[in-house]
C-alpha cells in the first residue's frame, strides 16, 4: 500500500469517522444538517422579501441629525448661562473683581467651573480687563490652567454690549462665536452686578472643536460650522492642515449660503474626501440671533451599507434561529446521553481502583436501571474490599490483646477527622483504608519485641520504628492511592522533624500523615496497655493539645476535640471498633 493511499485511509477511518464514534454526534449531526439546509433556504427567501425604503430612512436620519445639532447649541448656551449666573451671584465674586484680588476670585470661580465642567471661563472687571481666565487642561481629571494669551476680550462685541449695559428682549446676556488665539469659541457673556452698578463681566465658552465633536456623537453625523461667508470654521471632517488639499470642498456654494442665511433648510449632495455625502444646511440660533451656520453630513454609502446590513440582520436572525434549534437539539441530546457518559466515567474510575465513586443516576428508564445495578455492584465490591482489609488488620492487631481493634478504630477515627476538616468523600475513603493498613508492617516485627511488656531497649525501639518501612515494602506490590501510602508510611511523622521513619518537617508532612498521627495517638493513649492504664477522652485531648503546634497539626487537634464525644459513643456501641474477642491473657502490668 502506498503512503498516499495509507494517508487517505487514515483520514477516512480516523478523521471523517470520528463524530460517528460518539453517540451524541450520531444523533445531532443529521438533525443539524437538515436544520442548516432549511435555514439557508429561509434566509435567502426572507432577504429577497425585504422591501423597506432605505432612502426614506436615510432622509429621516439626516433631518434628525440637523435637529439634534440645532438643539445642541441651544442646550450648550443654556449650560453657559447657568454657569454665568452661578459665578455672578456667588458671594465675594463682585468684591474680588472690584479689588482685583485674583487669588480670592480664583478660589471662588474654579469650583464652579469644575462642577459645570466648562471648557473656558473668564472674568473681566468693569473696564474689560481680565481678572482671571481659566482653560480646561484635562477633561478626564477636570483640571484647569490659567490662560495667558494675547486676546483682548474687551474688544469683543458681546463684551462691549455687557459693559455698556445693553439688553434685549431676552435679557442682559449675549452669545457669539469669537475667533481667539486658540481657535473659535462659542462665548456667552453676562454682567456681574452690584448695588452700585456693573462690577464686571463673566464669559463662559466652549470651543467649536468640542461642540462639533459632541454634536457628532449625538447626531451620528459629521458636523461643520461656517461663518457668514460660507467658510468652514471647524468640522468633524479633516479640514485645515489635516486635509489642506480638499479643504475648499467644504465651502458653502453661494446659492446655498444665501438660502441658509435666510433660514431655509437646504440639502446638497457632493463628494467629500473620496466619498459621497448628503449635506443638510441650517442656522445656529441663540437668544433669537443667528450666530453661525452649520451642516450635517451622512455618507450615502449608508444606503448601500444598510442594504447589506439588512441582509446581515436577516441572516443573523436566521442564524440565531439555527442556534436556538441546534441548542435545543444539543440540550435534548445531552440530556439523553449525559447519564450514559456519566456511567462511562464512573466505570472508568472504578476500573482504575476507586470504589468510592457512584454514578448517582436515578431514573425510571433502562439507563437508570443499569446505573443502579452498577452502583450496587460497586458498593458490594467496596464492602468486600474493606471487609477483607479489616479482617487482615484485625488479625494483625489480634497478636497483641491490648491493640485489638486499633487499626479499625484509627481508620474510622481518621475518616471522622477528615470529614470534620471538610475533605471530600474519595479522600475520606482513602483515610479509612490507610487507617486499616497503617500498622501492617508489624507483621514483620518479632513477637518478642512487639509484645514485650517492659521497656524497650534502643535496639528494640529501632526495630519497632521500622514497621512503617516494612509496611510500605509489603504494600509495594499492591496498587494503592498515594494518600493511603502516605498514611502508612508517615503516620509517626511529627511537625518538628522528630518523627520517623523519614524525619519530615512542617509542610513536608501531608494532611494524611497529620490526621494519622492524631488518630493513632488518641487511640493509643485511650487504650489499655500492659504498662499503664488508659486515659479518659478528656485527658487524651488535653495531651494532644499540649503537643499541638510542635508535634501535631493544631487544626487536626481542634477537629478531634470537636468529634470526641461522638467518637466515644460510636466506640461503645459498635462491636467492630473493639476488634476480635480473644481470651483474656494474664499479662502483668509493668510500671516504667
Domain annotation covers residue 332: no
What are the φ and ψ backbone dihedral angles of 375, each rounded to 5 degrees?
-65, -40
Domain annotation covers residue 328: no
Tell which residue, 290, 250, 238, 298, has the closest CA to residue 73.
290
Strands 266-272 and 275-286: antiparallel
* Domain enclosing residue 249, as ranges: 50-299
State the cell numbers at 588: 502483668
383 and 479 both lie in a single domain = yes
269 and 388 both lie in a single domain = no
275 and 422 both lie in a single domain = no
175 and 262 both lie in a single domain = yes
Q: DSSP of 316-356, one letter per residue?
A: HHHHHHHHHHHHHHHHHHHHHHHHHHHHHHHHHHHHTT-TT
- CATH number of residue 288's parent domain: 3.30.450.20
295 and 417 both lie in a single domain = no
Tell me how far apart the alpha carbons of residues 29 and 255 are, in angstroms, rounded to a whole number. 66
pLDDT of res. 52: 61
90 and 185 both lie in a single domain = yes
Of 277, 299, 321, the last residue of a domain is 299
Tell which residue, 335, 73, 116, has the closest CA to residue 218.
73
287 and 392 both lie in a single domain = no
Q: What is the pLDDT along the chain (592 residues), one digit of tens a residue?
A: 555 555 555 445 554 555 556 676 777 777 778 878 877 787 777 666 665 667 778 888 889 999 999 999 999 999 999 999 999 999 999 999 999 999 999 999 999 999 999 999 999 999 999 999 999 999 888 899 998 888 899 999 999 999 998 988 888 999 999 999 889 999 999 999 988 888 999 999 999 999 999 999 999 899 999 999 999 999 988 765 544 445 457 888 999 999 988 888 899 988 887 788 889 999 998 888 889 999 999 988 766 666 677 777 777 887 887 788 778 877 887 777 788 878 888 888 777 777 777 787 888 888 888 888 888 888 787 777 767 676 666 666 665 555 667 888 898 899 999 999 999 988 888 888 888 888 888 878 887 777 777 777 888 888 888 888 888 888 887 778 888 888 888 889 999 999 989 999 999 999 999 999 999 999 988 887 766 788 999 999 999 999 998 999 999 999 999 999 999 998 888 877 765 444 444 434 333 3
Domain annotation covers residue 584: no
Domain annotation covers residue 234: yes
Place of cell 500498622: 439
553 and 413 both lie in a single domain = yes
Domain annotation covers residue 24: no
Measured between its terminal Cα atoms, the distance across the chain in Å is 84
Domain annotation covers residue 224: yes
Cα torsion through 108, 114, 115, 119, rounded to 10: 120
119 and 227 both lie in a single domain = yes
Sheet holding 266-272, edge to edge: 232-235, 222-226, 289-299, 275-286, 266-272
Tell me how far apart the alpha carbons of residues 11 and 69 are, in angstroms, rounded to a whole number. 63
pLDDT of res. 402: 52
- CATH number of residue 402's parent domain: 1.10.3210.10
Please give the tally of structural domains in the chain.
Answer: 2
Tell me how far apart the alpha carbons of residues 461 and 592 are, in angstroms, rounded to a whole number. 15
Domain annotation covers residue 271: yes
Q: DSSP of 40-85, one letter per residue?
A: HHHHHHHHHT----HHHHHHHHHHHHHHHHHHHHHHHHHHHHHHHH
Of 250, 274, 299, the last residue of a domain is 299
Of 299, 334, 359, the last residue of a domain is 299
286 and 392 both lie in a single domain = no
Amino acid at each position: 500500500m502506498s503512503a498516499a493511499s495509507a494517508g487517505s485511509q487514515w483520514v477516512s477511518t480516523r478523521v471523517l469517522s470520528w463524530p460517528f464514534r460518539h453517540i451524541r454526534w450520531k444523533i445531532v449531526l443529521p438533525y443539524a444538517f437538515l436544520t442548516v439546509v432549511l435555514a439557508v433556504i429561509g434566509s435567502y427567501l426572507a432577504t429577497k422579501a425585504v422591501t423597506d425604503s432605505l432612502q426614506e430612512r436615510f432622509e429621516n436620519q439626516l433631518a434628525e441629525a440637523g435637529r439634534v445639532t440645532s438643539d445642541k447649541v441651544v442646550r450648550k448656551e443654556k449650560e453657559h448661562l447657568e454657569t454665568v449666573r452661578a459665578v455672578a451671584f456667588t458671594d465675594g465674586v463682585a468684591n474680588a473683581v472690584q479689588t482685583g484680588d485674583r487669588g480670592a476670585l480664583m478660589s471662588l470661580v474654579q469650583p464652579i467651573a469644575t462642577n459645570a465642567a466648562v471648557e473656558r471661563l473668564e472674568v473681566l472687571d468693569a473696564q474689560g480687563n481680565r481678572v482671571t481666565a481659566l482653560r480646561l487642561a484635562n477633561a478626564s481629571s477636570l483640571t484647569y490652567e490659567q490662560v495667558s494669551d494675547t486676546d483682548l476680550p474687551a474688544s469683543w462685541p458681546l463684551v462691549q454690549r455687557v459693559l455698556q449695559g445693553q439688553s434685549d428682549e431676552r435679557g442682559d446676556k449675549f452669545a457669539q462665536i469669537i475667533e481667539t488665539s486658540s481657535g473659535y469659541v462659542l462665548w456667552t457673556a453676562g454682567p456681574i452686578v452690584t448695588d452700585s452698578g456693573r462690577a464686571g463681566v463673566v464669559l463662559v465658552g466652549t470651543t467649536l472643536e468640542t461642540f462639533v465633536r459632541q454634536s457628532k456623537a449625538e447626531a451620528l453625523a459629521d458636523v461643520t460650522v461656517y461663518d457668514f461667508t460660507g467658510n468652514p470654521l471647524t468640522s468633524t471632517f479633516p479640514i485645515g492642515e489635516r486635509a489642506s488639499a480638499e479643504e475648499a470642498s467644504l465651502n458653502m456654494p453661494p446659492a446655498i449660503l444665501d438660502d441658509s442665511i435666510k433660514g431655509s433648510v437646504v440639502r446638497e449632495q457632493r463628494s467629500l474626501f473620496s466619498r459621497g455625502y448628503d449635506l443638510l444646511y441650517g442656522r445656529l440660533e441663540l437668544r433669537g440671533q443667528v450666530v453661525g451656520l452649520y451642516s450635517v453630513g451622512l455618507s450615502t454609502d449608508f444606503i448601500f451599507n444598510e442594504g447589506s446590513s439588512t441582509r446581515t440582520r436577516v441572516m443573523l436572525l436566521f442564524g440565531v434561529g439555527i442556534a436556538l434549534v441546534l441548542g435545543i437539539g444539543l440540550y435534548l441530546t445531552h440530556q439523553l446521553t449525559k447519564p450514559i457518559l456519566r456511567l462511562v466515567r464512573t466505570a472508568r474510575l472504578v476500573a482504575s481502583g476507586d470504589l468510592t465513586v457512584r454514578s448517582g443516576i436515578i431514573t425510571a428508564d433502562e439507563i437508570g436501571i443499569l446505573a443502579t445495578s452498577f452502583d450496587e455492584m460497586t458498593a458490594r465490591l467496596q464492602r468486600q474490599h474493606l471487609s477483607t482489609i479489616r479482617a487482615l488488620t484485625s488479625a494483625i492487631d489480634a497478636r497483641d490483646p491490648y491493640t485489638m481493634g486499633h487499626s479499625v478504630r484509627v481508620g474510622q477515627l481518621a475518616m471522622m477527622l477528615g470529614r470534620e476538616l471538610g475533605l471530600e468523600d474519595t479522600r475520606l475513603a482513602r483515610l479509612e483504608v490507610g487507617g486499616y493498613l497503617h500498622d501492617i508492617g508489624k507483621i514483620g516485627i518479632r513477637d518478642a519485641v512487639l509484645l514485650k511488656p517492659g521497656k524497650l531497649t534502643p535496639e528494640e525501639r529501632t526495630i519497632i520504628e521500622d514497621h512503617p518501612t516494612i509496611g510500605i515494602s509489603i504494600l509495594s506490590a499492591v496498587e494503592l492511592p498515594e494518600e493511603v501510602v502516605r498514611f502508612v508510611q508517615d503516620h509517626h511523622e511529627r511537625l518538628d522533624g522528630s518523627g520517623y521513619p523519614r524525619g519530615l518537617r512542617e509542610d513536608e508532612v501531608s494532611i494524611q500523615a497529620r490526621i494519622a498521627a492524631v488518630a493513632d495517638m488518641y487511640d493509643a493513649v485511650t487504650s489499655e496497655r500492659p504498662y499503664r492504664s488508659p486515659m479518659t477522652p478528656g485527658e487524651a485531648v488535653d495531651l494532644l493539645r499540649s503537643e499541638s503546634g510542635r508535634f501535631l497539626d493544631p487544626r487536626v487537634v481542634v477537629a478531634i476535640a470537636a468529634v470526641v464525644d461522638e467518637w466515644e459513643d460510636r466506640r461503645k456501641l459498635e462491636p467492630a471498633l473493639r476488634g476480635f474477642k480473644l481470651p483474656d491473657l494474664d499479662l502483668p502490668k509493668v510500671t516504667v
